[in-house]
Amino acid sequence: MGSSGQAPGLTCWKVLTFLILQLSFSAIFFAYVRIHGKANQEVPEFDMVSQTRCPPVSQTPCPPAGQPQRSTVGERSSNLITILLWTWPFGRPFLIQKCSQLLGLPDCDFTTNRSRYQEADAVIVHHRDVCWSAGKLPQLPRPPSQLWIWFNLESPSASPNLHFMDHHFNLTMSYRRDSDIFTPYGWMEVLPRPGNVTVPPKSKLVAWVLSNWKPGSRRVQYYNELKKHLQVDVYGRGHLPLRREDHLSTLSQYKFYLAFENTVHEDYITEKVWRNSFVTWAVPVVLGPPRKSYERHMPPESFIHVDDFPSAQDLATFLQELDRNATRYQSYFRWRERLKPVGETCWAMHFCKACWALQKKPVQYQTIPELSKWFK
């Protein structure tokens, strides 16, 4: 009878203990969710060291590649140049590979942690992420030896509010050859020794991939004339479907690719040539800056320029003649005996080029007074 009398008290004590533990756990859990939920709304800040393969750079930002790994900041060598990425390009995080692994260059210490602003040797500012307000630029006093680098891969037509950038930056970084740090969409590398070239078989004639259809643009108007005389397979929104994973394999079936730029500016030669054409072994038919601008980046016999023909009909006739003449068509690939095109680029490659430029030699101090007049 004594033991049965103690049972209710013991049971109440156990229930009370259980409730206290549950309430404590719930408080900790909701505090965690609140803190991390708020943190996830901000741009992630961490030091970047990763082993991932580079995603390609194109008109769209690089896709995220998972959760980056934090580097061991405390073990960082004191002689490494620290580069602060003020924002992720287009606000989308990605993994960045060590420059020594990516391009065989000495490494830099890349970070997006703005609390390290005062110790950063250079700050890279991506134009499209700050151009809507001058208040998005760094507002803290600049350390005396720190360099600000203006980074932009878009054309002047797609680069609003350039006047915000006047008198702020020390170095320019873009596809323009006269940039302080030249970061093109692609480039040619000299092979260690000349080699034989075998052009892969092609079953189709002309392709074009287009996501931004503007009826009044020069490239669409030129296409409308060209299609009257030549079959062109158009992929993209409102046209033939093309999955991302089938992009290169599909274009590899074609002899020619319409590498028509959306705007015409000096040196603005994008992935339409480097990736859609050269990587797929299609001869690019280019519409963009003048021929001499293309020839500064690639051999003159590697592409066909629309400006070389009096009309779209003449261009169509020329492409049809090349289609029938294998020897003449293959002459557009002879440059591959001595050169290799690099068209699979990524954001990390551009940042590593900045790293290398800062390491090569001491940079003489300068300020870009009127960036808005230079980049046009």
Please confirm, yes or no, whether 225 is among the known catalytic residues: no
d(C-alpha 20, C-alpha 24), whole Å? 6
CB atoms within 10 A of CB 27: 10
Matching residue, tokens 């003649």: 321
d(C-alpha 275, C-alpha 342), whole Å? 8
* H or E segment and range at residue 14: helix 2-39
- Which bin fits 229, alpha (ψ -120 to 50), beta or left (φ > 0)? alpha
User: Is the CB of residue 97 less than 8 Å from the CB of residue 50?
Assistant: yes
From 154, 261, 266, 271, active-site residue: 154
Q: For residue 347, which of 38, 54, 128 has the smallest C-alpha distance? A: 54
Q: For residue 326, which of 206, 199, 233 has the smallest C-alpha distance? A: 199
Length of the chain counted residue by residue: 376
User: Is the CB of residue 232 less than 8 Å from the CB of residue 258?
Assistant: yes
Kindly list the distances between the CA atom of residue 231 and the CA atoms of 226, 234, 286, 317, in Å, as whole numbers in the listed order. Answer: 8, 10, 17, 12
Catalytic positions, written as ranges: 154
